[in-house]
Amino acid sequence: MHTTTLKPSGRSMAQLARDVISLFKLRIGVLIMITALVGMAVTPGPALGLAQVLVLALSVLLASASAGAFNQYVEYQSDRLMERTKKRAFVTGALPHHPAWLGLMAVLLAAAVAAAWLALNGVAALHVFLGAFFYGVVYTLWLKRRTPMNIVIGGLAGSFAVLAGAAAVDPALGPLPWLLALVLFLWTPPHFWSLAIANRDDYAQAGVPMLPVVVGPESAARTVLASTVALFIASLLPLAYGAGPVYGVGALLGGLHFVRKSWQLARQPARATAMGSFFASLVQLSVLLVAACIDAVLR
């Protein structure tokens, strides 16, 4: 008797790969990884070897991926209520919502922390862990559904990446990486609140107390503007602690662009201006990080 083994088509395997990749939020992970590399670049000290740089990059990326997947695992019920997230793999059933995923996430995080500990040092490994912990546990489990200030504390995830990169070079952590960590901390709220204003109805329907849901879009937009101004001022502080003119130009241009877009949002709170502010936040951070790297190389 002839039997036929059914195999998934190339298209279905490709779709499975895309679903798995989307689970780990790699776009966010790559951005966080870059902030860690910038923290390394701006920190004075002996240069890391290529293997150490790769371990730093991959450990931060894996830790972020673990936290991102955990966020989707925990939030899959509320994700189905939001237009922005209703096509995520756990929501649609493209990937089974099974506890085995938690084991994989734990293994990824443990591997990331262990690699950073062995190849770099304990301080760098601690910050790799804290970045994932603050996003996965502090933000997702403890704060997201309890307070409109949830993303403020959750923003520490990016700050810890900067500190992980800096600690890989010098565990003592000088003022410059601390100031860049402050910049990342202050960047997250206006970045995310801008997006939350654009998607306010989604968060309201899902019962998530994001700031625009609690105080309204007008008040939230004014808070975005005030937060962006604070971010802009903080981004100039590294100039007093060794950052050079290239960094200064990047901080000035990127910061003013973000302030202008957030001012437009405060004047006219709407989805279009909110998305303009959101994209301006990405431009501001990108310009700042590139300028910081170029500045470090020229020094």
User: Which CATH code fits 174-299?
Assistant: 1.20.120.1780
Degrees (nearest 5) of the Cα angle 82, 85, 86?
70
φ, ψ for residue 285, nearest 5 deg: -65, -40
Selection from 171, 201, 165 nearest residue 289 by Cα: 165
> Is 278:194 a contact under the CB 8 Å cutoff?
yes
Name, in order, each residue with C-beta under 8 angstroms of 281's C-beta and a sequence gap of 6 or more. 187, 190, 191, 194, 228, 258
Cα–Cα distance for residue pair 56/40, rounded to 1 Å: 9
pLDDT tens per residue, range 106-147: 999 999 999 999 999 999 999 999 999 999 999 988 888 888
Quick: pLDDT tens for 78-87: 888 888 888 8
What value does the mean pLDDT of the chain take? 91
Percent of the chain with pLDDT over 70: 96
Residue 266: which residues within 8 A CB-CB, separation 6 or more? 221, 222, 224, 225
Q: Each residue of 27-58: pLDDT tens digit?
A: 889 999 999 999 999 999 899 999 999 999 99
Q: How many CA atoms lie within 13 A of 75 on its CB side?
A: 29
Task: Say what the pLDDT of residue 147 is.
Answer: 87
Residues 6 or more apart whose CB falls under 8 angstroms from that of 205 comprise: 81, 82
| pLDDT greater than 70 at residue 164 | yes
For the segment(s) 18-173, the CATH number from 1.10.357.140, 2.20.28.120, 3.90.1150.10, 1.10.3720.10 is: 1.10.357.140
Indicate the pTM of the whole model. Answer: 0.89
Residue ranges of the domains in the chain? 18-173, 174-299
CB atoms near residue 245 (< 10 Å): 11
In this prediction, residue 183 has a pLDDT band, given cuts at 50, 70 and 90, of very high
Q: Which two tokens stand for residue 198?
A: 């654009």
Q: What pLDDT, on a 0 to 100 scale, did the predictor assign at position 7?
A: 43
Q: Are 270 and 278 in contact (CB under 8 A)?
A: no
pLDDT the model gives residue 8: 43
pLDDT of residue 255 exceeding 50: yes
